[in-house]
């Protein structure tokens, strides 16, 4: 009985999440507790890098491909990523590789003891954030606000 209630409540919350949505879905990525970038999941070329101490560690050069790199606490050895990602190798990118595809965001590369956040399926639901504790990265989905409604003091891009 409890399992049935849990399954039904998850479905109802998902419907409420979609009904409250403005039609735009954003991923807000935080590192060490600070929001560092917000990405429009429907159009990844629309993003905002927040003016924080980590702004220079956020790489957006591949936004047209839906690829972003953000800092990670334990993701520092990039050997594995450099084998498959020419851009990262050529530009000596250090950090977590994110992908926005089909309106969802996922972690393509990171290092942590169990790689749990990399194993998470792509998400577009505010009920299913991606959390990578060892890297101090949280990706939360915002569906009920427009890009202009969510801001910090300073935005770079």
| Model pTM score | 0.78
Mean pLDDT calculated for residue range 135-157: 68
pLDDT at position 68: 98
Coil, helix or strand for 143? coil
Closest listed residue to residue 69, CA positions, set 51, 55, 83: 55
Q: What is the pLDDT of residues 83-135, one digit of tens each?
A: 999 999 999 999 999 999 999 999 999 988 877 888 899 999 999 999 999 99
Domains (range + CATH), the chain: 24-142 (2.60.320.10)
């Amino acid at each position: 009985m409890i399992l049935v209630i849990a399954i039904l409540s998850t479905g109802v919350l998902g419907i409420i999440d979609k009904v409250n949505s403005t039609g735009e879905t954003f991923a807000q990525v935080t590192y060490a507790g600070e929001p560092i970038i917000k990405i429009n999941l429907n159009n990844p070329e629309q993003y905002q890098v927040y003016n924080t101490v980590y702004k220079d560690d956020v790489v957006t050069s591949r936004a047209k491909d839906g690829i972003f790199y953000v800092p990670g606490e334990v993701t520092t050895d990039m050997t594995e990523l450099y084998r498959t990602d020419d851009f990262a190798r050529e530009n000596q990118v250090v950090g977590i590789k994110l992908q926005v595809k089909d309106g969802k965001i996922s972690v393509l590369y990171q290092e942590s003891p169990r790689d749990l956040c990399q194993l998470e399926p792509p998400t577009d639901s505010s009920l299913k954030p991606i959390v990578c504790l060892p890297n101090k990265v949280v990706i939360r989905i915002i569906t009920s606000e427009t890009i202009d409604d969510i801001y910090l003091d300073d935005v770079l891009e």
